[in-house]
Structure 1
Amino acid sequence: MTAIQGSLSIGELSARTGVPTSTLRYYDELGLVRPAARDAGRRRYAESAVRDVGLILCFREIGFSLAEIESFVAGERESRQELIDRKLAELAERQHRIEVARSALEHGRRCPASEPMACTRFWSIIEDRLSGLSLEESHERAH
């Protein structure tokens, strides 16, 4: 096999990015990181593929799905701003849910009944959830 000058094998790209070769093949299937060429049937990537994989890793860590990353990369400036705005709203909602859960757990830690399973407030929260109230509403109602 004659390697294409300045290109990376899938193994080399994997080593440089820390991403398994199976994942790189999946990114290729999705069109996120395409090989620049094939040499004897083997994928060969341009140096810029390292940066492309880095972008995917960063966006995954932020919470973007692969479909959202694909839209972001392929999109226009305005559609990118919409994706960012939508992700910010999603993260704000997730943060709110985490804070509600944290509040409920902190109550469980300092519950006057000393045992959450024996706490009448705990069970009233469960009953309110079953009746359709949110955790936040149930917790507020119990206190």
Structure 2
Amino acid sequence: MLSIGELSERTGVPTSALRYYDELGLVRPQARASGRRRYTPSAVRDIGLVVFLREIGFSLAEIGQFLAGERQGPAGERQELAAERQELIDRKLAELAEQQRRIEVARTALEHGRKCPATDPIHCPRFWSIIDEHQRGSSVEESHARAH
């Protein structure tokens, strides 16, 4: 069994985060000895999964959903859990696609600012026309398209 300090050393995750993961039910200690958390060696892998999912954009709440029901139940139950995980993955993919779209719009706007013929975007009439259109309810993409 590993202490929380040993688990922290093996995973690179601070003990405060490990305590929080326990509080959220993401990675629980196997036992407590004299009030101290004790983890099985497999907790290293479990923490690795949590860290990986965080790095690819999942929130801790989403990770909780992803890990919910992780057990060996009847085949139908396992299929239902797999379907729920696939749904989480699909939602995350859609969210990332939207973030990527917004990033591309921002990149286009910033590149215009860098190359602006007015030399300073704050004095550029095209820049202000985009702002005005956006304030009237147009999306950034629509505002930019109208200005060009």
Q: Same fold (TM over 0.5)?
A: yes
Structure 1 residues 74-113: aligned runs within 5 Å: 74=68, 76-113=81-118
Q: SS in structure 1 opposite 2:145?
A: helix
Amino acid at match of 2:129: S
Aligned to 1:127: 132
Shift of 1:132: 1.1
Shift of 1:114: 1.1
**What is the count of residue pairs matched by the alignment?**
137
Q: SS in structure 1 opposite 2:32?
A: strand
Q: Deviations over 1:26-75 (max 9, x none)?
A: 00001101001111110000101100110000000110011111111125
* Superposed CA RMSD: 0.8
Structure 1 position 24 matched with structure 2 position 18: yes
- TM-score scaled by structure 1? 0.93
Structure 1 position 69 matched with structure 2 position 63: yes
- TM-score scaled by structure 2? 0.90
Q: Percent identity?
A: 73
Runs of 5+ consecutive residues of structure 1 not aligned to the other structure = 1-6
Shift of 1:140: 0.7
Amino acid at match of 2:126: R
Shift of 1:139: 0.7
Separation in 1, partners of 2:46, 2:97: 27
Separation in 1, partners of 2:2, 2:18: 12
Amino acid at match of 1:50: V
Runs of 4+ in 1 over 6 A off after TM superposition: none
Structure 1 position 47 matched with structure 2 position 46: no
Aligned to 1:12: 6
Aligned to 1:118: 123
Amino acid at match of 2:67: V
Separation in 1, partners of 2:7, 2:64: 20
Runs of 5+ consecutive residues of structure 2 not aligned to the other structure = 70-80
